[in-house]
Structure 1
Amino acid sequence: MAGSSFGTIFRITTWGESHGAGLGVVVDGCPAGLPLCEEDIQIFLNRRKPGQSKFATPRKEDDKVEILSGIFEGKTTGTPISMLVRNTSQRSRDYSEIASYYRPGHADYTFDEKYGFRDYRGGGRSSGRETIGRVAAGAIASKLLATLGITMTTYTRSIGPVTIQTFDQEQIEKNNLYMPDENAAAEASEYLLYCMKEQNSSGGTVECIVNGLPTGLGDPVFEKLDANLGKAILSIGAVKAIEIGDGMAVASATGRSNNDPFLPGENGTIKKASNHAGGVLGGISDGSPLILRAAIKPTPSIASFQDTVNKQGEPISVSIKGRHDPIIVPRAVVVVESMTSLVLADALLLNMTATMDNVKKIYTDK
């Protein structure tokens, strides 16, 4: 299977299946000398692991990471960093009957059509557990960004019909929905309880804001920063759309309302009066906060009966068994953040060769 690698210089390859022995990632291109330990990775993995609340799958996994290579005396060596998370709570029997039919909203049908075979145990490579490798790699990318003063704030912006109305960053870690609005979190919880009672699920949106990003990241044609962010975020299985800045709202804007006026900043710098562009102009970062949103679809595995067909093409009605999240959004917050970090880390390393002045700083400046 092709397509399990991502990035140019800071490059990752994820591997493993939901019900296999384990999952992991190989990170290549991380500069030597970055302080790194398993706890740095575990902090990120703990944000996405299952079983944390009544709104997450009850599957119990510690998701404990093991670093197998690329670290010596607490720092990266510049060689590939291989990480493993073992599966310990597989219940493959829960999925045995779906081998004979196609679940609505899942990749069962397309996998069979493409490969003539599929791992029906929890979806195999198309399972949400594949994101373990992305998050482990994203933790490294995030630490690299932090050394340069680049920080991220990522949270749940909406769940179903409930959208945040206020922003209190401290609230993000105080509720299990990762919403920065206490009242919205309470309202969304009630909505999710209703969905669960109806044997249904919900979608929502995740928003990521990046501060401290320098100007100049990204290229103006096929390697636009926003284009690469789009590919990264849309590669997350549950994501169906991405917005940067004002996003879809620009379709109803005018040039006068959508343009961001430039103003003189401090010490001869230039800044913008607004940020409708979301921190990217012409595919290149403009020094403003990078703002993106990802639309997450409802969990397709629901207990309500749904119409589908079996592998013989005969119509049937099914109720999906197993342990599933009534909503993916809260656990997807760290996945969106991780994929954003990976794109930005790669863009930073690529940008080092953008000008001769940059090259001279590396090889001639002492």
Structure 2
Amino acid sequence: MNVPLAEEILQLRAATPGCARMIHFNHAGASLPSQATLDAISAQLQREATIGPMEAAIEGTRLQEEARHWAARLLGTDSAAIAFTSSGSAAWGMAFNALGGWHAGDRILVGRHEWGGNLACMTQALQSGARLEVIPCDESGAVSVAALERMLDSRVKLIALTWLPANGGLINPARAIGEVARRHGIAYFIDAGQALGQLPCDVQALGCDVLKGAARKFLRGPRGTALLYIRPEFLARLRPAQLDVLSAPWDGHTFTLRNDARRFETSEVSLALLAGLANALKEAVELGIEHIYQRIQALSQPLRQALGQISGLALCDLGLPGQQSGLIAFTLEGWDVFELKQRLAESGINLGANGTAYTPLDMQVRGLSAIARIAISHLNTVEEIDTLLQALRALASERRQTSTSTSSP
């Protein structure tokens, strides 16, 4: 594998403490923050400790709005369309519950790869008689746009898409689905948790009404922060279930809902975490998401080919070859994926492992109980990948030898 390491990547690695300690391939779970992001969090906490938390909120609020500015730049929208929440699940749940008014016969269309947390939230609508229906997949395993078109009628109230599933490298056709949703006037929610910070994400081109994603993944932001985009023209349809003096300020006569995405925020937030988020977003935007995406592709596609040559290793990715994300799902013969994850961690290599609950519809259809997951970042190097491949070959050989010895008379 020959992927040149740009000077700017070397500088990013040097400015990221975790790169010196571990080989990290769990960026789809949570990536490694830079020292500058950690410093921004620490500086805000120090201000709160020295001059008082409420007094330090002046600078903290400025940094919060700086984060909103960079989030808007990332998504190609205006700052007023951005809200911050504590997690991607919280963001999606608040937006979904704000739709309200579910009735018997209403239809919700989802991809087979929908995130388990989103599906759990949708069960509330099913109690009112709404129906959850799965859009068929095309030959590559992606959501079929043609099949979606055939399913539409006046009862379809929502199309929900997990753009990049958590259990592999599939990239669903989010933009094409957005064109269908807009043409038929149907609400369209995108879960972009694995997309943000990995590939370009222009909400105008996607045509979505709502988009969410946790910042801890490829954006390298702090845990406990997430982005929620609400299309301004769609905002009037959403009535948040919970309000406070920020989301519905007192106007002298009554409490009136804000006319921007912050109707989904509360007055009490961690300004320290948002200070860190501001730095993480700035770093990603200034480096360039297209540049990040190209590097992830240059690393992950040859890695898939090398993994496919390891005896006993089965790739579990969907999607067309050459058009997959930096998430690589696999199983290794003779190994429980969680045991495999632990063994690699003991040797200084982090990767992920997912059970059925994360993507239950897809995992059940494909007969998968769990998968191991490599998630490539622009921070990774060819040398780290070679070390991972060596470790997997050794573990595959170890289990083969064990199996041979136990089966001998």
TM-score range, shorter chain: under 0.3
* Structure with larger RCO (C-alpha < 8 A, sep 6+): 2
Question: If each structure's strand is expressed as a fraction of its own residues, which one has the higher value?
Answer: 1
After TM superposition, the score normalised by the length of structure 2 is 0.23
After TM superposition, the score normalised by the length of structure 1 is 0.25
